Structure 1
Amino acid sequence: MDIQSASSHVAHAPHFDVVQTAPGQIKVIRRNGTVTPFDANKIAVAMTKAFLAVEGDTAAGSSRIHEKVSLLTKKIADTFDRRLQSGGTIHIEEIQDQVELELMRTGEYKVAKSYVLYREERRRAREQEQKEADNKKSAYILHVTLPDGTIQPLDMDALQKQVRNACVGLTDVSPDHIIEDAKRNLFDKVPAHEVSKALVMSARTLIEKEPNYTYVAARLLLVDLRSEALDFLKIQNNASAIEQQTFYPAYLEAYLDTGIKHELLSPKLKSFDLTQIGAAIRPERDLLFTYLGLQTLYDRYFIHWEGRRFELPQVFFMRVAMGLAMEEKEKEKRAIEFYNLLSTFDFMSSTPTLFNSGTLRPQLSSCYLTTVPDDLDGIYSAIKDNALLSKYAGGLGNDWTNVRAMGAHIKGTNGKSLGVVPFLNVANATAVAVNQGGKRKGAVCAYLETWHKDIEEFLELRKNTGDERRRTHDMNTANWIPDLFMQRVAENQDWTLFSPNDVPDLHDLYGKAFAEAYTAYEAKAARGEIKNIKKIPAVSLWRKMLTMLFETGHPWVTFKDVCNLRSPQQHTGVVHSSNLCTEITLNTSREEIAVCNLGSINLIAHMTDKGLDQAKLRRTVHTALRMLDNVIDINYYSVPQARNSNMKHRPVGMGLMGFQDALYKLRIPYASREAVEFADRSMEQISYYAIEASTYLAEERGKYSSYEGSLWSKGILPIDSLAILEQNRGAYLEIDKSQTLDWKTLRERVKAVGMRNSNVLAIAPTATISNICGVSQSIEPTYQNLFVKSNLSGEFTVINPYLVADLKQEGLWDEVMVNDLKYYNGSVAKINRIPEKLKQIYATAFEVDPMWLVEAGSRRQKWIDQAQSLNLYMAQPSGKKLDQLYRHAWTRGLKTTYYLRSMGATNTEKATIDDRALNAVQVDPVSAAPKACLITDPTCEACQ
């Protein structure tokens, strides 16, 4: 079943019109070094033979085999089309590896095993043939084709030196392995730029066996990046990766001149003392990058012109830092301070800030929240605002509760409304049409309160069946649930649905005031004074909410009253929704579009063997909060309501990432009381220092303008606002109130000097910036210990380096263990050789009872003035489990929840096959799930 020769082995093989590959686009390097055009039909023929070898050639089975083979072949061809969109070469072995992978993904384990055994048989035969051939021929010299077309011998000494340099300081890596593997992917007269790519690809393939190869691959990639940038800027430089200090000042000047010339960078960057700035750059920090981190920066963040990147990693961080220090009095000093935080990965700004800082349009904010009014002009103005905000990389949260429900009277036309759903369809189309600066998909989340009469249709917006005009497949949705509804569910009472034009004040009420007004409207409806209503059991609606959440991943479950009752800004308005990723809780109105600027503390960078380094954490938080506050004044606002709101209240959202890494450092399982306690104490410290930092900024720069009357002004900090929630909710609240720091002193300081920012804390998903830093995402448990991560930059092998280190110490890290991890989809639970203690520490997300996630989330929430993006994982969801989980989240005081992650059908038990030799790394199984969300949903990145 060798793909190149398969067609000669299958008599009368059918022809598969699977993919029409453009001639010359993708080429295949055969084992003898020759290059041939990629032909998907050869893959189909090889797989057909594999199926026939296992299942036999019967009339009944031939049709089924043909359909399977066609589907699998198309998937494989599509994979290579994505990887090599602009053409390129691929080795025959990579094609065969992909065949194995697809067979495994689709559950064809017997066929895959047969295929692997055949490959091994053919490999041994080829090795023997090669040995015989090597004895007969003299050494073969490869040649490379230079950019000007000249051909010269490949300098193997230089190649070996390059790889050896990339391995310096790293343990358990072998330059020889990389060189030997790279040779397989080279052919005579190969283009020079393909040689470096072959080295990177060879290092990549070894990551699953040794995590340190990710640093080797990054350093080899850096050689290409430097060559591309310096060639573009016409700068000559032969220094190695760690000998760049003297070169950076000249490079920085050329970089800025080129960026300003092409209107990619702000001319204000030239006002800095570039000699001082250039001397502060630390090129050795390039060695901190993992391959995934550096490749992500290259693909999506670096400044480029006509497809050529001319921004290097350390100058990228300095550009962001200079952009954030633009208005500082001592701007060089502050830029260097900000650079040191970013380039060491102690703190990372959000994706929009990284994209746009220092550019002509510095749209640096992550999140925009809007309230849509109930009139045609207002609705379409809101949709236009969505387009303008999305254009410059903003993630959107829209509150649609004001818009009247289906059947409501329209005074202007004396007709009846079609409800909110048709307008949501328009908003969905807008998100698709206007993406985020051509860099990310447009991303928006619609929120609707649970009493809205269109709520049942709203729940079905993401279904794959029904009228497409009443579906929004590209837009996220979330329920905005009042406490009264949850109480009615708990007490098995009825619930009444209203159109907002009949109950106009409900939208702005919460807590006891909402409950009183709502029951009064129910009484009016009972008397026949309100006609456009629907009465249903609260439990029935709750059950439908959870059913849709399980089946479609939407709408998310968020709680209105706790968001408002604990908001520091109750005196200036109402929180009507959260944002795209459910961590922002700011007031919105027709006059104000809420804006939030995000960044995340890298928790693991502040860990020692004894726990958190509080002194370092305090320094980082103070500098980071200054960076976030600067965003507000530098920011480009595409709509005036956003500027109005941001300047008045100055909210920021500092979060964290690397929580799981910190638990590994502490040797604590995620599913443990110790982990919950660490979540509590770490968040308490971040909260304390963030509030403290805002008071220092208030002393220096002044309080935010709407400070008076806020909870801050009354000395009520986030931890104190729990009492307000208790007064309103009563019995349905169970929250730990423990604290360890001197909050009394800080409380008095806040009252005395004020706050610079109305809000300071919010935990975002960090989907992309955690990749850049090479740490675990946000507050998430480890997804899998070994898997292939798919994102907009491609596919990357991800392996847990902490697990590998522990297994090495136990003498258990070997080829068999790698294959066991593949077989069990990155789980260690069923690998008998692994000690029980390690199984607990390295339990993956779906092996952690989601109640532990809620418990840890509750402990964090008491310290946070906004919310947190809290994903919940459940391997085998059921109605009962979901009911218990989300009720528990409510009683534990969580403000919001995010995605419900559930396992896909491809993760079924492999009980009948022993295929440890199968060479296939599991790709995200959730992405294949027919129910719930996609783990690689790109909208998760909107808040990074």
Structure 2
Amino acid sequence: MAKRYRVIKRDGESAALDIAKIRKVIQWAAEGLDINPIELESNLEIHFRNNMTTGEIHETVIETSLRLTSIEEPDWRILAARLKLVDFYKRVHMARGIPYEYRYPSYCQTVKDFVAKGIYTPVLLEKYADKDLHKAGQFLQQDYDYDYDFAGISLLIKRYMLEYENQVIEMPQEALLTIALLIEQNQPQEIRLQRVRDTYSMLARRKISLATPILINLRKPNGNLSSCFITAFDDDTNSIFHTFEQVGQISSGGGGVGVSISRIRSQGARIRNSLGRAGGVVPNIRVVNDIALYFNQGGKRAGAVTVALDSWHLDMEDFLELQTENGDQRRKAYDVFPQVVVSDRFMRAVEHSEDWYLFDPHEIRSKYQYELADLWGEEFETALDHLYTEVDEGHIELFEKVNAKDLYKQIMKVQIESGMPYISFKDTINRANPNKHIGIIPCTNLCVESFSVVKPTRIGPQRFENGSIHRDVEPGLVHTCNLVSLNLANLEDDEFSSVCETAVRILDNCIDITDVPVAEGQRHNELLRTIGVGLMGLADYLARRDIPYIGATDAVDKLAEEFAYHCTSASCKLAEERGGYPLFAGSDWSQGLILSRDRSWFAEHATLDWDTLFDRIAKYGIRNSHITAIAPNTSSSIVQGCTASILPIFSKFYIDNNSNGNVPIVPPYIKEKLWHYQESKHIDQKIIVDLVARLQKYVDTGISMELLFNLNKNITAKDIYETHMDAWKKGCKAIYYTRSIQKNSNIASVKDECLSCAG
């Protein structure tokens, strides 16, 4: 006879609940999973008690499923997710005020209701007739919801599903289908719904992961879809305050901001010929810090800003003290993400322990009429040689001589304490810049994977004219980029071409429909059409093919070439359909270069038909000036059910303690491929550098490369230093976090990632 428990229903009425009903739900949730439901039932009896509510029973079943999750039986976490969805569907129906059915309601009616409530943009009803929405509704497949594990579905609901009157009112497949409709809204009528179906399928089957701004904002009216922005201060009051405004506008729209501050005169520099009056970069950084805190993106999180300073700047040593615990707290900025921009010349000086000079950019600009921050490569080295001579002859007033290696040791010391500053290799980045004809790349974005030409806006003084206040403005360029990532864990080898084509089209379409928060970003979008297709789940891709992460460089070479080839080919195809980006003429692309390399390099090193692609680009151009960028994807990989980015896993199994309780996290193929998953904390980080360098050959923008040093393994400062030097010499463009596991610990802690780049 089935055991009975006494419960109290939500309406307060007492009733008997038969265990058979619980068993029926569990049997449904366990369908297709490699688990034994009887094991769950035997564990449940321990936790049941008399007078439990139905909600308490449901939560107990979920919690027990999570406790049963292990490397040997990972599918319990999927069962827990399905049980969570049962309750979630009920709550959404209640929030909408419609009768509960164990299926999605009419999609067409949902869109109309959501537009009326202001949840969805009215563009949906302007672009699509009822018959289109009814047909699109047939694409929606509820079964895709059941592929998520508990961590993934919980994060998806909490962070990405839209709310109305403080209640989540949207369901996952509705969100993805609506995004697909809006992404493809401007496609030709005869193929539009076909494109919608393709895009929805890629998103729903988790082949493509959208960055956070697209996933959150695209259904909303006037949403920003761009993840990454970079702006730059110019060294005058009008520009400084304009840049503050840009940072605020971008932060309020959900974007992560990179700010180059290298043009700002140093502390103690001259103002109107009076020496010692300038406050330097630190006061400006503190304002940026407070702006990031103020514009907290709807209370969900503070704005996220990386502030970048060139290694020759006279304020460098103060810059490195921004987040240390000691010193004057009035000169601290704990909520920004510092970034040091280094040249080849500096790295050679570090390597050979040579002298290095720090300068005030204002003095150099005033005396010699060039902007050090605008120089790289040979031009920078020529300028530096000239300045060193001027120092020797006593012509430069403000400078400091330091030992380059000692300065780098200070950088490393701060990194061990906080994981930062990030390091960006300016010459490597600019050698690969396809748009050298219009300017330079001063630094990277917040996650160091996305960057392009940036120019500060120059603003003239106010004047009163014809009853109004006017000022002349020379518009700059604010790097603006949209991101997606291919989920390698779910891709088959024969899907690569079609998935890359869809990913590039998604991002190019987003450029045309996004509401960019700053005008200079809109200008950048229109002129350069920068996008960033990335990768995630590389550790899963390798494990699934029985390839250990250590020793995967040949496999990664092949993968990286396919990735670059198909994404570049897709952008060329769009150029044939829609035209190339407006500043194509004069670019590397127009001069017969791909990835800043000519045909001969590909003939020697590559295996695919690059020669034909060169001919196509010569004929049609390229749609997007930058195409690929690999973001960190730490949080979105949880939603996607894969490992983050292209890095090895941190741990084969761990418990994430969050608002959803103790949630187990395991890689997707851990049960079958346990020994092919290798943990980063047990890997020599030079192997990571080598693998990233292999990828970087085929990634035209950057890669979020985190380094993790396990100090329990007798890692020394020399090991960290040599790994950094290795990254520079092998052509990596930047180092994201330099993380460390302290002795007698198994935890590596740093600031939260930038959610804007998560994708």
Q: Do both proteins adopt the same fold according to a TM-score greater than 0.5, normalized to the shorter chain?
A: yes
| TM-fit CA distance, 1:801 | 5.0
Tell me, yes or no, if structure 1 residue 205 matches structure 2 residue 67: yes
Task: Summarize the alignment of residues 467-546 of structure 1 with structure 2, pairs less than 5 Å apart.
Answer: 467-504=328-365, 505-546=371-412
Match of 1:328 in 2: 187
| TM-fit CA distance, 1:656 | 0.3
Whole-angstrom CA distance in 2 between matches of 1:394 and 1:335: 26
Rate the CA distance shift 1:238–1:663 in 2: closer, same or farther, 3 A: same
Match of 1:360 in 2: 221
Q: Is the 8 A contact 1:596 1:653 kept in 2?
A: yes
Tell me, yes or no, if structure 1 residue 695 matches structure 2 residue 572: yes
Whole-angstrom CA distance in 2 between matches of 1:584 and 1:155: 56
Q: Which moved more, 1:410-419 or 1:891-900?
A: 410-419
Match of 1:925 in 2: 747
Whole-angstrom CA distance in 2 between matches of 1:411 and 1:642: 32
Q: Is the 8 A contact 1:372 1:382 kept in 2?
A: yes
- State the Cα RMSD in Å: 2.2
Which SS does the other structure have where 2:484 is aligned? strand
CA-to-aligned-CA distance 1:360-385 (integer Å, 9 cap, x gap): 02211111111111122322221221
Rate the CA distance shift 1:296–1:139 in 2: closer, same or farther, 3 A: closer
Q: Is the 8 A contact 2:269 2:275 kept in 1?
A: no
Whole-angstrom CA distance in 1 between matches of 2:507 and 2:683: 34
Task: Indicate which of 628, 635, 642 corresponds to 1:761.
Answer: 628
Tell me, yes or no, if structure 1 residue 884 matches structure 2 residue 722: yes
Task: Summarize the alignment of residues 142-181 of structure 1 with structure 2, pairs less than 5 Å apart.
Answer: 142-146=6-10, 148-171=11-34, 173-181=35-43
Match of 2:317 in 1: 456
Match of 2:148 in 1: 289
Which SS does the other structure have where 1:142 is aligned? strand
Rate the CA distance shift 1:474–1:488 in 2: closer, same or farther, 3 A: same
CA-to-aligned-CA distance 1:355-410 (integer Å, 9 cap, x gap): 01121022111111111111223222212211211112111111110111011001
Report the structure number with the largest CA radius of gyration: 1
Letter matched to residue 477 of structure 1: P
Tell me, yes or no, if structure 1 residue 575 matches structure 2 residue 454: no
Letter matched to residue 655 of structure 1: G
Identity %: 30
Q: Is the 8 A contact 1:369 1:579 kept in 2?
A: yes
Which SS does the other structure have where 2:413 is aligned? helix
| TM-fit CA distance, 1:903 | 0.7
Task: Summarize the alignment of residues 576-655 of structure 1 with structure 2, pairs less than 5 Å apart.
Answer: 576-590=442-456, 591-607=476-492, 613=493, 615-655=494-534
Rate the CA distance shift 1:792–1:565 in 2: closer, same or farther, 3 A: farther
Q: Is the 8 A contact 1:369 1:593 kept in 2?
A: yes
Tell me, yes or no, if structure 1 residue 235 matches structure 2 residue 98: yes
Whole-angstrom CA distance in 2 between matches of 1:564 and 1:211: 45
Whole-angstrom CA distance in 2 between matches of 1:901 and 1:601: 26
Match of 1:195 in 2: 57
Q: Is the 8 A contact 2:184 2:196 kept in 1?
A: yes
Q: Is the 8 A contact 1:265 1:358 kept in 2?
A: yes
Match of 2:113 in 1: 258
| TM-fit CA distance, 1:184 | 4.8
Rate the CA distance shift 1:412–1:264 in 2: closer, same or farther, 3 A: farther
CA-to-aligned-CA distance 1:876-933 (integer Å, 9 cap, x gap): 24221111111111110111111112113442xxxxxxxxxxxxxxxx7113xxxxx3
Match of 2:304 in 1: 443
Task: Summarize the alignment of residues 840-859 of structure 1 with structure 2, pairs less than 5 Å apart.
Answer: 841-859=676-694
Task: Indicate which of 639, 659, 666 corresponds to 2:538.
Answer: 659
Match of 1:350 in 2: 211
Match of 2:593 in 1: 716
Letter matched to residue 388 of structure 1: Q
Which SS does the other structure have where 2:735 is aligned? coil
Letter matched to residue 626 of structure 2: N
| TM-fit CA distance, 1:185 | 4.6
| TM-fit CA distance, 1:218 | 1.0
Whole-angstrom CA distance in 1 between matches of 2:398 and 2:271: 13
Tell me, yes or no, if structure 1 residue 776 matches structure 2 residue 640: no
Tell me, yes or no, if structure 1 residue 141 matches structure 2 residue 20: no
Q: Is the 8 A contact 2:94 2:100 kept in 1?
A: no
Q: Is the 8 A contact 1:255 1:310 kept in 2?
A: no
Whole-angstrom CA distance in 1 between matches of 2:299 and 2:415: 30
Task: Summarize the alignment of residues 9-48 of structure 1 with structure 2, pairs less than 5 Å apart.
Answer: none
Q: Is the 8 A contact 1:704 1:755 kept in 2?
A: yes
Letter matched to residue 529 of structure 2: R
Q: Is the 8 A contact 2:540 2:667 kept in 1?
A: no
Tell me, yes or no, if structure 1 residue 786 matches structure 2 residue 653: yes
Match of 2:122 in 1: 267
Q: Is the 8 A contact 1:233 1:255 kept in 2?
A: no
Letter matched to residue 733 of structure 2: K
Match of 1:278 in 2: 137
Q: Is the 8 A contact 2:251 2:257 kept in 1?
A: yes
Letter matched to residue 482 of structure 2: N
Rate the CA distance shift 1:524–1:355 in 2: closer, same or farther, 3 A: same
Task: Indicate which of 558, 569, 573 corresponds to 1:681.
Answer: 558
| TM-fit CA distance, 1:175 | 2.4
Task: Indicate which of 144, 166, 171 corresponds to 1:307.
Answer: 166
CA-to-aligned-CA distance 1:551-588 (integer Å, 9 cap, x gap): 22111111001111110111111101100000012111
| TM-fit CA distance, 1:942 | 4.1
Q: How many residues align?
A: 724
Q: Is the 8 A contact 2:145 2:173 kept in 1?
A: yes
Rate the CA distance shift 1:790–1:600 in 2: closer, same or farther, 3 A: farther
Whole-angstrom CA distance in 2 between matches of 1:604 and 1:741: 23
Whole-angstrom CA distance in 2 between matches of 1:458 and 1:174: 57
Whole-angstrom CA distance in 1 between matches of 2:155 and 2:383: 51
Whole-angstrom CA distance in 2 between matches of 1:422 and 1:792: 37
Normalized against structure 1, the TM-score is what?
Answer: 0.74
Letter matched to residue 903 of structure 1: I
| TM-fit CA distance, 1:792 | 7.0
- Unaligned residue ranges in structure 2 (runs of 5+): 366-370, 457-475
Whole-angstrom CA distance in 2 between matches of 1:410 and 1:262: 54
| TM-fit CA distance, 1:325 | 1.6
Tell me, yes or no, if structure 1 residue 220 matches structure 2 residue 99: no
| TM-fit CA distance, 1:183 | 5.1
| TM-fit CA distance, 1:231 | 2.1
| TM-fit CA distance, 1:230 | 1.7
Q: Is the 8 A contact 2:3 2:19 kept in 1?
A: no
Whole-angstrom CA distance in 2 between matches of 1:771 and 1:275: 32
| TM-fit CA distance, 1:717 | 0.6
Q: Is the 8 A contact 1:144 1:188 kept in 2?
A: no
Match of 2:250 in 1: 389
Whole-angstrom CA distance in 2 between matches of 1:204 and 1:941: 29
Whole-angstrom CA distance in 2 between matches of 1:795 and 1:721: 53
Q: Is the 8 A contact 2:642 2:667 kept in 1?
A: no
Which SS does the other structure have where 1:870 is aligned? coil
Whole-angstrom CA distance in 1 between matches of 2:533 and 2:167: 34
Rate the CA distance shift 1:436–1:723 in 2: closer, same or farther, 3 A: farther
Q: Is the 8 A contact 1:320 1:358 kept in 2?
A: yes
Letter matched to residue 605 of structure 1: N
Rate the CA distance shift 1:188–1:698 in 2: closer, same or farther, 3 A: same
| TM-fit CA distance, 1:940 | 6.0
CA-to-aligned-CA distance 1:486-535 (integer Å, 9 cap, x gap): 12222332111001112232111111111001111121122121111001
Tell me, yes or no, if structure 1 residue 553 matches structure 2 residue 419: yes
CA-to-aligned-CA distance 1:727-774 (integer Å, 9 cap, x gap): xxxxxxxx9973211222211211111011110010001112211110
Normalized against structure 2, the TM-score is what?
Answer: 0.91
Q: Is the 8 A contact 1:580 1:943 kept in 2?
A: no
Q: Is the 8 A contact 2:584 2:625 kept in 1?
A: yes
Rate the CA distance shift 1:777–1:869 in 2: closer, same or farther, 3 A: same
Whole-angstrom CA distance in 1 between matches of 2:731 and 2:187: 40
